[in-house]
Structure 1
Amino acid sequence: MKIGMLTWGSHGDIRPFLALADGLQSAGHEVHLVITSLEAETYDKVRSAAGAKITVLTPLTFNAEQAEAVGQAAYRIRDPLKQMAEILRLAFAPAEDAMFEAARRLCAESDLLVGHYFMHPLQVAAEHAGLPYVSVLLSHGGVPSDYVNPLGLSMVGKHGNRMLWWLTRTLLNRTVRHYPDRLRKQLGMAPMRDIVSDVWVSRYLALVAVSPQICPRQPDWLDSIQVCGFLDRPNCELEGVLPPSLSGFLAAGEAPVYMTFGSWMPKDLKGQTAALRLLTDAAREANCRAIIQCSDWSACGFSSDDRILYVAAAPHHQIFPHCMAIVHHGGAGTTQSATLAGKPSIVVANLSEQEHWGRELKRIGVAGKTVKRRNATAAGIAAQIRHVREKPEMSERARRIGEAMRQENGVAEAVRQIELRSRGVESTAQAGKKASENWPGEEYQR
């Protein structure tokens, strides 16, 4: 098949699509991946090892101050829907028309489209062109079910979960549905009914790119929803290399705690300095050795010693296995990389989605209480590090889950699911019947 792919966001939103593009190309398909990056030239040198075509869009590029403004806007807003609306307004909407144009070009050259679950420009273009559309969810927190709810609350029961999903979807549609409806209007299409079931969770095929060790398949999910597993890939050049000083640092004492805020590390020196001070003080207070990742640590006035090693970047899959635990922001990629390495996590979350990951890691027994970035203190992070150190059963649990994850191959399973669906494993009539079945909470919408 000729397969068009489109993604947008930070490195955690792009890396899985690079992995899937390689997998599909290696399986004999002709793949064209379009990346929408907010950072000019970041992905210009990224190449597909399998030969997939990669196009980088930079319709909106942020300098350090603008990028920091988006981050500040995100973690000063407590309401998750208002938080999402602000991020979309600042970082998605200005690039939407360019992505829609790219999506329509992909439709003209492709048999099947694969998009980031947020990628309504591609879904709208695919629907208009009458082409099958596969959504890839990098988190399972947005898939409705009577068995879980969007707020992570327990003891509310199936009826309570259903009501919470109905309320969430109603508010979500009020907040963001105007974006796809604007594009649909341009093509003479009717307004969208529900952004969750029409865009996020494709009724043709929705791949949940989360390890089954973290994401159990819910009994009421449609057959079109498949958990493929973590879309992992070998290290990218832009992810850095192991620093020469690492081997000596590791040999000099106990296993360190790795600390990273990933794409949520501030881009300006003032913000980086504050973040570095927070993490450094937390490591000192917890009395642990630490490796702290920050691109401009030297310019911020920090220097390594026998207790703390500062690095600009490092490939997580190579460095995490050498650490005692991982302090991170709760991004989908870093979360699963830490778990794949068999290490406990301390999550310092900026967004509601990152808080979801923190809750999930706590649920499976590999993390303690999530720290919220807006009110994070060195003492609070240090307390969570000590909690991990004092709970050897948590480390053992993480080790076992990591071992199980290493037996999985998310890319191979995603490719298999796409090929099965495209071969028409289910007849058109069966697919139509399943598409008409109620989603959790849909009777409330009616």
Structure 2
Amino acid sequence: MRVLLSTYGSRGDVEPVVALGVQLQALGVEAVVCAPPDEEFAELLAGAGVPLVPVGQSARALTKSAPPPSSIPERAAELIASQFAVLPAAAQGCDALVATGMIPTVAGALSIAEKLGIRSVSVTFQQLTLPSPHHRPLAYAGRSFPPDVTDNQALWDLDAESNNVLFGEALNGNRASIGLPPVPNVRDYVVGDRPWLASDPVLDPWLEPADLDVVQTGAWILPDERPLPDDLEDFLGAGGPPVFVGFGSMPLHAATDAARVAIEAVRAQGRRVIIRRGWADLGLIDDQDDCFAVGEINQQQLFTRVAAVVHHGGAGTTTTATRAGTPQVVVPQAADQPYWAGRVADLGIGVAHDGPIPTVESLSVALETALTPETGARATTVAASVRTDGAAVAARYLVELINGTSDDRRALASDWRS
């Protein structure tokens, strides 16, 4: 049995797919990942023993270039074309294709599966891209929703229109080139009738609407067994638990000031700081010994050793911090990050910062709340309810679907009960 796992985006789009690949291999399935050619992704896949087929341009370069909203259709066309160029060969001999990441690349991947006549599954790592009467869709840059439209169904209709305008021409042009009919509704084509939601039910509870059958597997977590570096261990042992600050794959164009603000806010709480460089290239602002800078690191282990985590609100980082039982301050930058900030606040496990640009005062106030014993106790309680086997559940379910032994969610429900 062979499965192609297709993704395009930041580390938060790639690492969960690697986790699924590892679990599929444990079941004897040959798993191959199509992902951006970034060196960090290649190293991640090599370390997990999952083959990589590079597709498209560097995701980091695309993110840091910050193209204007007017160029979205052009950029999307390039990404879609890369899917049609690479995936047909990669998917040969596959029994299924699992697609996640950016909507235009998912649409391209699903089209290749359609052409080859193989089973496909569409996956999202948060529910905001799934039409529902219970929440509004995310707006694309340059295509904000009219302020007088508040009905969620009307907003989802506008979302479908935006997807068609931005991605429809490029997708259907490529589909025509391989003999496929046009897709009238790009968003609905990507979502399908039974999308998978690979997020934790406590952090991201799905409220079932009647017209969409969502399969929530739990978050796909890749276990990280790497030890922390010796110099970081020395820093951790030299004083009380520090506060971790990192913004993952967000470029943060005011990165120098962001580092200063974060470090000064943490110092105002009498705490030491660990700052992660990330795609924003954050760094130290002076040579005082209360700060330590890290690059790629085992966050699963590190987050259990710190007093609080200040981050951007990516799905993966939010899940990791929640699982660690560590209070959070979420400074959301874009896309789904305000949603995750809200979930952290609603659960009482941290603070949602108001807006993407913190000041020393605003971040210090947020940290003051996050560092209270009450928030810490709540974070510990919620951590005990976070599932860690979502990737294994998804792998077993996918194998049963391929084998034809399960065409509903009874097997999945059994996994959740076990």
Kept in 2: contact 1:258–1:292 (CA 8 A): yes
Check whether the contact 1:36–1:99 (CA below 8 A) recurs between aligned residues.
Answer: no
CA 1:97–1:150: 2 relative to 1, 3 Å: closer
Partner Cα distance (2:282, 2:180) in 1: 52
Distance of 2:281 and 2:122 partners within structure 1: 41
Match of 2:275, SS state, is strand
Structure 2 counterpart of 1:163, one-letter code: A
Q: What are the equivalent positions in structure 2 for 1:129-208 lying under 5 Å apart? A: 129-150=116-137, 160-199=151-190, 201-203=191-193, 205-208=194-197
Give the partner amino acid of 1:366.
Answer: I
Give the aligned partner of residue 77 of structure 1.
none
The aligned counterpart of 1:380 is: 362
SS at match of 2:377: helix
CA–CA distance in 2 between the matches of 1:19 and 1:272?
A: 30
- Rate the CA distance shift 1:149–1:223 in 2: closer, same or farther, 3 A: closer
Which runs of 5 or more residues in structure 2 are unaligned? 140-149, 410-418
The answer to whether the Cα contact below 8 Å between 2:249 and 2:280 also exists between their aligned partners in 1 is no
Pairing of 1:99-118 with structure 2 (within 5 A): 99-118=83-102
Cα distance 1:332–1:300, how it changes in 2: closer, same or farther (>3 A)?
Answer: closer
101-110 or 165-174: bigger deviation: 165-174
Paired amino acid for 2:260: R
Distance in 1 of aligned mates of 2:108 and 2:172: 10
Q: Is the 1:291–1:311 Cα contact (8 Å) retained in structure 2?
A: yes
> Could you tell me whether the CA contact under 8 Å between 2:197 and 2:217 is conserved in 1?
yes
Give the direction of change, closer, same or farther, for the CA distance of 1:287–1:12 in structure 2 (3 Å limit).
same
How much does 1:337 deviate? 0.8
1:242 aligns with 2:228: yes
Q: 1:304: Cα distance to partner?
A: 5.2
Q: In structure 2, what is the Cα distance between the partners aligned to 1:88 and 1:229? A: 32
Q: How far apart are residue 217 of structure 1 and its match?
A: 3.0
What is the match of residue 22 of structure 1? 22
The one-character-per-residue Cα deviations of 1:374-401 (angstroms, maximum 9, x if unpaired) are x3323222221112124x3332222122
Alignment check: 8 A CA contact 1:7 1:116 kept: yes
**Secondary structure in 2 aligned to 1:43?**
helix
Opposite residue 214 of structure 1, the aligned amino acid is L
Q: Secondary structure at the match of 2:336?
A: helix
Structure 1 pair 221–319 and aligned structure 2 pair: CA distance change class (3 A) = farther
Equivalent residues of 1:296, 1:312 under 8 A apart: no
SS in 2 for 1:245: helix
Question: Structure 2: which amino acid aligns with 1:384?
Answer: A
Residue correspondence of structure 1 range 283-432 to structure 2 within 5 A = 283-294=266-277, 302-303=285-286, 305-373=288-356, 375-390=357-372, 392-405=373-386, 407-424=387-404
| Aligned-partner SS, 2:182 | coil
Identity rate, percent: 26
Alignment gaps of 5+ in structure 1: 75-81, 153-158, 432-446
Aligned to 2:412: none
2:11 counterpart residue number: 11
Give secondary structure in 2 for the equivalent of 1:333: helix
2:220 is matched with 231
TM superposition shift of 1:63:
8.4
Compared CA separation, residues 207 and 304, structure 1 to 2 (3 A)? farther
Count of residues paired in the alignment: 396
Deviation of residue 271 (structure 1)? 5.3
CA distance in 1, matches of 2:42, 2:26: 22
2:260 — aligned with what? 277
Q: Any idea what SS the aligned residue of 2:40 has?
A: coil
Q: TM-score, normalised by structure 2?
A: 0.83
RMSD after superposition: 3.2
Contact 2:248 2:278 (C-alpha < 8 Å) held by counterparts: no
Q: Distance in 2 between matches of 1:312 and 1:3?
A: 32
- Is 1:262 the counterpart of 2:243? The answer is no
**Distance in 1 between the 2:129 and 2:83 partners?**
22
TM-score normalised according to structure 1 size: 0.78
- Matched to 2:203, the amino acid is I
Change (3 A) 1:332 1:26: same
Q: 1:107 to 1:247 in 2, by over 3 A?
A: closer
Which residue of structure 1 aligns with residue 203 of structure 2?
A: 214
Equivalent position of 1:437 in the other structure: none
